[in-house]
Amino acid sequence: MEITWYGHACFRLTERGLATVVTDPFDSKEIGFEPLKLKADILTVSQDTPGHNHISAVKGDPYTITGPGEFEIGGVFITGVQTNGHSKKETDPRNTLYVFDYNNITVAHLGNINRVPAQAEIEALGNVKIALAPVGGSFPLEKLTEVISLLEPNIVIPMMYETPASKTKVQPLKDFLKSMGIDKEPEVLPSYQIKSGSSLPEETKVVVLDYQRN
Residue 184 has pLDDT above 90, yes or no: no
Higher-scoring residue by pLDDT: 90, 140: 140
Q: Walk me through the domains of the chain, giving residue ranges and CATH numbers.
A: 2-209 (3.60.15.10)
Confidence of residue 214 (pLDDT cuts 50, 70, 90): low
Confidence of residue 90 (pLDDT cuts 50, 70, 90): low
**Model pLDDT, residue 91:** 56
CA distance 24 to 53: 6
Contacts of 89 (CB under 8 A, 6+ apart): none
CA distance 28 to 193: 26
CA 158, 160, 162, 165 torsion: positive or negative? positive
**Model pLDDT, residue 124:** 84
pLDDT digits (tens, 9 = 90+) for 57-80: 999 999 999 999 999 999 999 999
Confidence of residue 129 (pLDDT cuts 50, 70, 90): very high
Nearest to 95 by CA among 124, 75, 115, 119: 115
